[in-house]
Structure 1
Amino acid sequence: MSVSFGSLLIVSFWSFACKQGVRGPQRSEQTIYLDAKSDWQGTALWVKKGQKVRLECHGTWAVAPSNESRRWPDTGPEGHGRHPGEKVHRSGDLKKELPGTPFGTLLGKVSNVVFPIGDRKEIVAPSEGELFLVINDYPFYRHDNRGGLTVTIVPQ
């Protein structure tokens, strides 16, 4: 029996693909807890460019420890908005995960494309890949954040 190189290549690729799993958009709802101290958290949801995803967020968080709750009150996924701290920290804006977006805003990332989610109930994936979530803050200061959001994610 003769086996051609092309046949061997196809069988090898198919074997590799089966072991790796074929990624595609999941259609089931899932809920995750996103701690304000966490770095980018994967959702295990693989989206395609242009795919819609519904989000429902519950909870509060802040970009400061509890002893600064008067200065930085708890907020939801919309972030701290026009908080006076935005002006105080304006010089460091470029160090935030997403400059120009308020501290505390819920952010999404797909294939290194970062975008604000905030309190929107639906997003459209900007590219293909896994959806990641995080609070907008200086990455080197997340350790002092407080709270978190429970996020229910429903691919459409």
Structure 2
Amino acid sequence: MPANRPRRGKRLVPVIAGVAVLAVGVGGGLFLVGAPPFQDKEQGQEKEQDKGAELPVVTSAEHAVGSDVCWQPVEKAVVREGDSVTVRFQEGEWSVDREQMPMMGPAGYDAENDRLLEFAEHCKVAPDAPLGTLLTRLPGKDAAPVLAVGDAVTFQAAGDGVVELRINDDEGCLHDNEGELTVSVEVTPSP
């Protein structure tokens, strides 16, 4: 049996040498094409940080919207066409008739109270929304669409401009209004 041992050893030497040559060849080939076989952890982390740097920067602003003023621009909410805009109610109350009507929030009056104000239908800026609803728009070249915000609304900017806010109560009807709402406006640039 001792005669068989040298043969096994002689067979293993060429196999081990072949594996070593193959490993050196693959490793050298990876270095030649610029892909080292053992990437440093820091290099991987740098690549992840680079990916994070590509995320859009969200602009956020808080704004107090008075009930006795027409359209009010949110100076820090400048948008470009395609940007995503979110307007969100934070706090506050207002009324379109401080002597006759209760205070309410951004959704405007409920159906019953809105019916009590049918005589003031001509005061609605957005005819389909109740009086007192928080409204937003992005003025542009064409007639700017007016959106009811309620507690929150998100829309995509159809053009460039500054976000504007107001109560759903037109110019000639603002004299008996009271209160204000605080809202946040977030602008996320389009990719």
Shared topology, TM-score over 0.5?
A: yes
CA offsets, 1:103-152, max 9 Å, x none? Answer: 11010111232221111253333443221000001321112111101111
Structure 1 ranges of 4+ moved more than 6 A = none
Following superposition of structure 1 onto structure 2, how do residues 87-106 of structure 1 map, counting pairs within 5 Å?
87-90=115-118, 92-106=120-134
CA 1:46–1:150 in structure 2 vs 1: closer, same or farther (change >3 Å)? same
- Counterpart position of 2:93: 60
CA 1:125–1:79 in structure 2 vs 1: closer, same or farther (change >3 Å)? farther
- Counterpart position of 1:41: 72
Residue 112 of structure 2, aligned match among 75, 80, 83: 83
CA distance in 2, matches of 1:117, 1:102: 12
- Counterpart position of 1:74: 103
Using structure 2 for the length normalisation, give the TM-score: 0.58
CA offsets, 1:39-91, max 9 Å, x none? Answer: 110012222344322233211111111x32xxx2211111113133x224435
Secondary structure at 1:93 match in 2: helix
- Higher strand share goes to which structure? 1
- Greater RCO (Cα-Cα under 8 Å, separation 6 or more): 1
Identical-residue share of aligned pairs (%): 28
Secondary structure at 1:151 match in 2: strand
Larger radius of gyration: 2
> Number of matched residues?
126
CA 1:61–1:98 in structure 2 vs 1: closer, same or farther (change >3 Å)? same
Following superposition of structure 1 onto structure 2, how do residues 117-136 of structure 1 map, counting pairs within 5 Å?
117-136=149-168
* CA RMSD, Structure 1 to Structure 2 (Å): 2.1
